[in-house]
Structure 1
């Protein structure tokens, strides 16, 4: 058995899958940085452009500051950025020169590894992105083989895609990404060898979600078949719709005879921190899942399921979740079985939601679904149902989007926002509402420290301070006195 490394997904994919990407702010992450660095992970699945948008929109945290400070605190552990195609925050495919600036800024601020994921598995798109990344820095580039179940996505399909990329010097390694937790042990036994046979000596990693209980077993089988790293979530950030929990994965790998390169004492301390944080912040921990055959059909990734369930709850329609899931299966089939990975699960499940709560199916269609049908996200792997395509395209909005302007050129955006605007601010303003960026900048630097045990008290004090009648507050107990006066901030 060869040595196996672990990749920690807690701060990005665990946070997204279990807590809708809004569970963790910069202070939470900074407090975990030294503990994480001490573990010796192969890399940290840390950020995506969507997570950068969440930092701005929900927390008023500067995502560039977050990157810089985390990279400084973890100098030997690469921070990983995942991107789907040539896009940054906005849904539109961006101007390549704009993306060149994005990749330059990300590397300058501490990203040491990029995951390039093209949902359509279009070779030229991945190679172009890899070339831009390498021209703007020295980060590793990992190509994603995004697993799904369909008549098209066979072992040969993935092997052909991997072979086409493996010859590029800009691609350093590969991983099998299973966002829906669909990879079974039996399929791993044929898929992993087929990929390894065509990528030469380039490493292969496994990223298998545990949404229906298969991720742990698939990861262990992949380790047996020669992958170099297994992706895991720590403590409450593992299991459920996230990835295999790190401590149990470590024990299982060692029981199978593998040597796992990790500092066990540091991992225990990191696990304890995330446990305390989840309890203090009311974040539900991931739990081991039972096998659910329905997921093999609808293939909804955990983060999208969590977000949709929250949206239905906000509308008072929680009882319609099963109907939305069933409709998702039908919509995905009608749209040509797109792989359920960002941005497609959001599109498919949102359309299913519209179909369930609307007056009739496809009465309301999002711009993103129309753009998908127009081929603006690439050519669908399987044909779109002809009747559904006609229904979607036979509306004025479809004709408008067919002729919509493309993503502006970098030079045009520079003229619009100012030639001398710092790159980091410029990139956010180019793709986000200006008022959200203004609010982030006004908030100033993020907090550096976080104490889980103090979180409930601080939350209570914030609520009391928000009441007009609560001008001065005093908390006393033997040996302790805390006074909060009007005008103070927490």
Structure 2
């Protein structure tokens, strides 16, 4: 019998690779016992990456979500792990060192055992400090190698990086094959190279299934000494996500490895509950193309999770490009035409930009440059004329050292703009900032939270946290969700009038108590605007005013807790007693 292979369920990444949002805390509380009951997972990915940020975007406190999810897993001894972007922490741009240090203390206190640290450029200067901070906080630092396929990304290249990370104190190495384009044989050789020198180091393989290599890669890394395999489960496995635990277990069991048994009754319950979350609201933000594998990803090397946003980008520029072509009496381009052009352009610009591994945020930078180049070339203009500031930071070395050499034309373009290249430690560009955020918390009368977790959220995601605290995020999300629901219904053949009737059927009318003129606030000015769709009202609140024939202004109360689904009259409109002013959907308790 061969060695034991353990499984880690990527419940966070399953959602992030499928769509925009993550489950709510109450949903995570329901799925955790079933994950435990399945009995086959040594680890579960609970948070990190975009998890906290997307929670804030829909108006939920991410700290509650993390604690809710980790607690039952901690109690039964399942290790929890998070994704950590090194210099960028949990966001898309660099984080001050004092905020990075605080992150590990907060996450350890919240019940997260392991932090998977990666740098999109594989620059050890961005990873090693996080290894130190994690060890100081009592977390297990798992240092990552961002896997891609290029002339510079060889076994020797990755082995050298692994040596430096292990010497810095990392007891674990993750092969983060974020686009799933790592070639199976090369990955097997890399695992063997690390294990031959460091048999005690745990190696975990993380491979997306987008272009179709992942099952072969899993078998190769296990044959060469890997210890843990990241897996997904239905209904969010395969496609641009990860292989399903059922298939991985069956393959490895047949190959003679010791693998855990799976409680299929619990698997089916967890599968059904995850589908319930999709049907609740998360499915409205899942791009259906993320359920498909695509061999086209081999050539571009882009992560599969980017396909949804990339197709949206292409649809956004298609009309403008075709309008231009039509004006020149040239043939218009289909989405497929543009997709092939974009993939070809990514393959062209990637080596010229120094082969940055195509992972967040550098995959976005390369894709954006390629897209702008395509737009310019269609118009007969030069490449490289539209490069944003974040991409320039990568080119100039402010984010870290690029793996390959920049093309001479890129160097010349930088010099022509007066830009300077740097090889200084990227962290030096971002001074400590916690004291500034503490002052903001104090000025607003906000509590720092248990283990300073609220302070951390402000410091890590300041704009999103402010929107969360003000309620703007919740309102914005509710509007977005309603638009998504309406769009889905229209796609299924419902007219706007059908949708309006369905909303009214679930709501209650607010009616005029007197004949008169409608005013939406106590200023009684002509410019007052009706409440927005989704706006909340409580029973004691005034919904609007009716200006009567006798010169008085009668208050129209909301009468119950609810949320606006439709406003039926405009400011200043004349109504009769009993006329419907708006519809409010009753909600007893607000989240």
Kept in 2: contact 1:370–1:393 (CA 8 A): no
Indicate the residue corresponding to 1:132 in structure 2: 133
Distance, in Å, in 2 between the alignment partners of 1:227 and 1:56 is 36
Residue deviations 1:419-463, cap 9 Å, x none? 6851333333334354x324423559x9xxxxxxxxx99x96598
Indicate the residue corresponding to 2:239 in structure 1: 240
Structure 2: unaligned runs, 5 residues or longer: 320-333, 475-484, 490-501, 508-563, 569-579
Q: 1:429 aligns with which of 458, 461, 466?
A: 458
SS in 2 for 1:236: coil
**1:417 and 2:427 matched:** no
Q: 2:312 aligns with which of 307, 310, 313?
A: 310
Distance of aligned partners of 1:235 and 1:36 in 2 relative to their CA distance in 1, 3 Å threshold = same
Kept in 2: contact 1:237–1:285 (CA 8 A): no
TM-score norm. by structure 1 comes to 0.83
SS in 1 for 2:267: helix
**1:332 and 2:350 matched:** yes
Deviation of 1:164 (Å)? 2.5
Q: Choose 401-410 or 200-209, whichever is displaced more.
A: 401-410
SS in 1 for 2:302: coil
Indicate the residue corresponding to 2:360 in structure 1: 342
Distance of aligned partners of 1:146 and 1:106 in 2 relative to their CA distance in 1, 3 Å threshold = same
SS in 2 for 1:355: helix
Deviation of 1:35 (Å)? 1.2
**1:3 and 2:11 matched:** no
Indicate the residue corresponding to 1:216 in structure 2: 215
Distance, in Å, in 1 between the alignment partners of 2:409 and 2:289 is 43
Deviation of 1:103 (Å)? 1.4
Distance of aligned partners of 1:432 and 1:489 in 2 relative to their CA distance in 1, 3 Å threshold = closer
Distance of aligned partners of 1:198 and 1:416 in 2 relative to their CA distance in 1, 3 Å threshold = same
Q: What are the residue-to-residue correspondences of 1:12-411 with 2, within 5 Å?
A: 13-19=13-19, 21-22=20-21, 24-40=23-39, 41-57=41-57, 59-75=58-74, 76-136=77-137, 138-168=138-168, 170-265=169-264, 266-279=266-279, 281=283, 283=286, 284=288, 287=291, 289=293, 292=295, 294-314=296-316, 319=335, 320-358=338-376, 360-392=382-414, 394-395=416-417, 398=419, 406-411=429-434
Kept in 1: contact 2:9–2:45 (CA 8 A): yes
SS in 1 for 2:65: helix
SS in 2 for 1:79: strand
Distance, in Å, in 2 between the alignment partners of 1:92 and 1:188 is 29
Distance of aligned partners of 1:487 and 1:191 in 2 relative to their CA distance in 1, 3 Å threshold = closer
RMSD in angstroms over aligned alpha carbons? 3.5
Distance, in Å, in 1 between the alignment partners of 2:234 and 2:346 is 31
SS in 1 for 2:567: coil
SS in 2 for 1:239: coil
Deviation of 1:46 (Å)? 2.8
Distance of aligned partners of 1:219 and 1:249 in 2 relative to their CA distance in 1, 3 Å threshold = same
Q: State the aligned residue count.
A: 463
Q: Choose 229-238 or 27-36, whichever is displaced more.
A: 27-36
Indicate the residue corresponding to 1:468 in structure 2: 567
Distance, in Å, in 2 between the alignment partners of 1:44 and 1:314 is 37
Deviation of 1:307 (Å)? 1.9
Distance of aligned partners of 1:416 and 1:323 in 2 relative to their CA distance in 1, 3 Å threshold = farther
Select the structure with the greater relative contact order (CA < 8 A; seq sep ≥ 6): 1
SS in 1 for 2:387: coil
Indicate the residue corresponding to 1:450 in structure 2: none
Distance, in Å, in 1 between the alignment partners of 2:415 and 2:45 is 38
Which protein has the larger Cα radius of gyration, Structure 1 or Structure 2?
2
Kept in 2: contact 1:18–1:302 (CA 8 A): no
Distance, in Å, in 2 between the alignment partners of 1:190 and 1:424 is 42
Indicate the residue corresponding to 1:451 in structure 2: none
